Homo-oligomer: A and B are copies of this chain.
């Protein structure tokens, strides 16, 4: 049988990651100390190091949990039934939902990737690349001429990711425009704008 402490081991690990995501999002990875994190968690630095071997390891956990969710959403949208336009709309909405629901993790993913050591960084980058490639699949389905002009595919995909990733700097979920409304605006901009490119 598991010991008493082992029972809530995962919950404690997850609680630390959540607080770390918030702290890293607010002050940056380098600007936030393990002592800050321990205080936020109402424990000691040593306890934090009992659950994670290093500060970078916590950063990796923050990022991978979020990027894994993005990969899942992208895979589900690509595999779904319906027209390319319908599945792309779903993708944009799901991305916005994840961005808002995990705003701190998302901000950390976008701001502090370079503070990860080379190997774990590559793991995250591979997942990001997967998200991009799945999105590109949908874009080609939607606009076949992107398959003809392959050199335009990546820039168009990046125009899209720029539109929605940039939200982390300004978007307020409780503001006048809801996440769903903004997702539909980004979707409309992409759908109508894509025909004007080239």
Residues of A at the B interface (CB closer than 8 Å) are: 27-28, 30-31, 110-111, 114-115, 151-152, 155-156, 158-159, 161-167, 169-171, 176-177, 182, 185-186, 188-198
Q: Contacting A166 at CB < 8 Å: which of B166, B191, B197?
A: B166
- Interface core residue of A115, A182, A196 (most chain B CB under 10 Å): A196
Number of copies: 2
A31 lies within 8 A of B115 (CB): yes
- Interface core residue of A176, A190, A192, A198 (most chain B CB under 10 Å): A192
With A31-B30, A111-B111 as given contacts, are A185 and B197 in contact (CB-CB < 8 Å)? yes
Q: Contacting A192 at CB < 8 Å: which of B151, B156, B192?
A: B192
Name 12 A/B residue pairs within 8 A (Cβ), A-sorted. Answer: A28-B114, A28-B115, A152-B177, A155-B177, A156-B189, A159-B163, A159-B166, A161-B166, A162-B163, A162-B166, A165-B166, A189-B197
CA distance A152 to B156 in the complex (A): 23
